[in-house]
Structure 1
Amino acid sequence: MSGAPETIALGTIALCWRIERRDGVAIGLTAHDRDLVIDGLIHRAAPGMTPSAVVRSAGLDADTMDVAGALTSGAIREADLIAGRWDGARVRVFAVDWAKGTRVAALGEGPIGGVELAQGGFTAELAGAAAALARPVAEETSAECRATLGDARCRVALARRRRFVRVVAAAGRVLTLDRAEPVAGAYAEGRARWFGGANAGIEQVVAGSGGDTVTLAQAPPFAVAAGALIELVEGCDKSLATCAGRFGNAANFRGEPHLPGIDLLTRYPGG
């Protein structure tokens, strides 16, 4: 016969958050009045952090919750939220017995969705695992490739298509680099990840490239100092011509470039 269940005093229950950013940074916060060490991570006291009611259902509806907090912690700054450092970060919300330093119950987990800033605080929406059920099951046909360059379906090796470069000068969205691109338009539709300066850890989309310059889809959120280190990953315009000619990967092209579109219905002889 098993023993009696352990009794937990409600007066020793505290809420905790573990937030893991996409760049590998992880922080812990707690609503308790002092720092707690849970699973080897220090959870800093943040009394302003409060979750909404956690609603869970047995159906297939997506479970969501909101977490509101004050921008008083050095770990979560308004500038970083606006810059997108916390976009897509994974959050775990759980209750602990602060007297014993042990977890009591898991309350919610999911990636950060929309973030709203207001009156010196922020509200972040968390989507539960069931939210993935809302995604389309079948892909739609398209003339362009539906794979992402370098993923399991594309199979193009990116090891030789990643390069570290330094910024010589920056003017808005345009960066001048210390190295020229290997082929014309190599970085268009690719990615730039900052490894130095105030933008470190931020990843941005490259809209176009030419010679020793790249044009980002958006200007860097923070000032760029000369010599800042970034990693550039080549991009693809998802056309069959580029897939076959530049990457030699037509066998893995995930599109239907020769499938007639709805414009076929409007055609007429000699049109």
Structure 2
Amino acid sequence: MTVYPEALAAHLEGEATTVCHCWRLTRRDAVVKGFTDHDRDLTVDGTVFRPLTGFSATEARDTLGLAVDTVDVEGALSSDDIDEADIAAGLYDDATVETLLVNWAAPAQFAKLRSATIGRITRRDGAFVAELKSRMHALDQVNGRVISRRCDAELGDARCRFVLDQPGFSATGAVVSVATPDRLRVSGLGSFADGWFALGTIEWTSGARAASKSYVGTHRKSGAAVDLMLQPEERTMPEAGDAFLIRAGCDKAFATCRERFGNALNFQGFPHLPGNDAAYGYAVDGDVFDGGPLVP
């Protein structure tokens, strides 16, 4: 329930009102942008809200219970404040958006209506539509450990503990040619076995994607050439000559952790977890019940 300051509440009870909506957007990189459906700039709570983007919103709804409320916000990509490349690069993913009700005749009178995060962003005809999801959507996220046979750590993180930046598990290369935005022929990886970098990561060190990360789907050798298939993404297309740092990937299986990385002691899954057949089975003459591991 929104609590309105006394001055704003008194204004809303009058015969005529001078109110508008403002949106304060805070990206994950701490950049703050302000937008309003008013026709001039407003400074509210230390943030300048600009009308240049033509922001408009659909009907907003607040419901009781744990349901996730959503509202769509539209804007023009031609604005200096909203750049299509930034959207494609993911800078607006999971950004926080605060919706304010403001008395534009007296900007000190305002109330925060809701706080939400940006979910899906779609683009069409030079404009974008961003879905704002209420904080209840966090209840739909997986929290804590997941009990599964496969590892739930990221290769090289604090739980995995494997050092990727060592010879044999990382390498530098460059794009030779681009067949499609996600299929690249590269140099510098000819000494590695087929599939070694599958499911790995690429950090771009030059070109339009510099300082961004991509994820490798497949790694194949075609004679003396090496092809990488990247996971689909809506980002700037790489070009011949773009340099990168690539790191090996992991399919999260216990056998891969043990044989490829020698890191079985830090495996963060449960490879010996009985499956449904074992859990619901019963003793049968001839079966082995010696308490040995299910995965050797």
TM-score (norm 1): 0.72
| 1:29-68 superposed matches below 5 A | 29-36=35-42, 43-46=49-52, 48-57=54-63, 59-68=65-74
Paired residues of 1:34 and 1:44 also in contact (CA < 8 A): yes
Deviation for aligned residue 1:196: 4.3
Question: Which entry has the higher C-alpha Rg, 1 or 2?
Answer: 2
Paired residues of 1:166 and 1:230 also in contact (CA < 8 A): yes
- Report SS of the residue matched to 1:170: strand
* 1:18 match: 25
Q: Give the partner amino acid of 1:143.
A: R
CA separation of 1:97 and 1:112: change in aligned 2, threshold 3 A: same
- Report SS of the residue matched to 1:45: coil
Q: Is 226-235 or 195-204 further displaced after alignment? A: 195-204
| 1:95-244 superposed matches below 5 A | 95=100, 104-117=110-123, 121-136=127-142, 141-158=147-164, 165-172=173-180, 173-180=182-189, 184=193, 185-194=195-204, 196-199=206-209, 203-210=213-220, 213-218=227-232, 221-244=235-258
Deviation for aligned residue 1:135: 3.3
CA distance in 2, matches of 1:157, 1:103: 54
Q: Give the partner amino acid of 1:88.
A: D
* 1:92 match: 97
CA distance in 2, matches of 1:97, 1:229: 52
Deviations 1:148-192 (A, max 9, x none): 223443333455566664323222233233432885444321233
Please point out which of 243, 247, 252 is paired with 2:261: 247
Deviation for aligned residue 1:240: 1.1
CA distance in 1, matches of 2:43, 2:235: 33
CA separation of 1:250 and 1:180: change in aligned 2, threshold 3 A: same
Paired residues of 2:68 and 2:137 also in contact (CA < 8 A): yes
Gaps of at least 5 residues in structure 1 are none
Percent identity, aligned pairs only, is 35
Please point out which of 242, 251, 259 is paired with 2:273: 259
CA separation of 1:174 and 1:26: change in aligned 2, threshold 3 A: farther
Paired residues of 2:119 and 2:132 also in contact (CA < 8 A): yes
Q: Is 147-156 or 100-109 further displaced after alignment? A: 100-109
Deviation for aligned residue 1:90: 0.5
Q: Give the partner amino acid of 2:69.
A: D
Paired residues of 2:171 and 2:188 also in contact (CA < 8 A): no
Paired residues of 1:168 and 1:175 also in contact (CA < 8 A): yes
Q: Give the partner amino acid of 1:147.
A: A
CA distance in 2, matches of 1:183, 1:51: 52
Deviation for aligned residue 1:7: 5.5
CA separation of 1:38 and 1:222: change in aligned 2, threshold 3 A: same
Paired residues of 1:204 and 1:218 also in contact (CA < 8 A): no
CA separation of 1:99 and 1:221: change in aligned 2, threshold 3 A: same
Deviation for aligned residue 1:124: 1.8
Deviation for aligned residue 1:216: 0.9
Deviations 1:187-225 (A, max 9, x none): 321233445444456543211225754221237754432
TM-score (norm 2): 0.67
Gaps of at least 5 residues in structure 2 are 12-16, 288-296
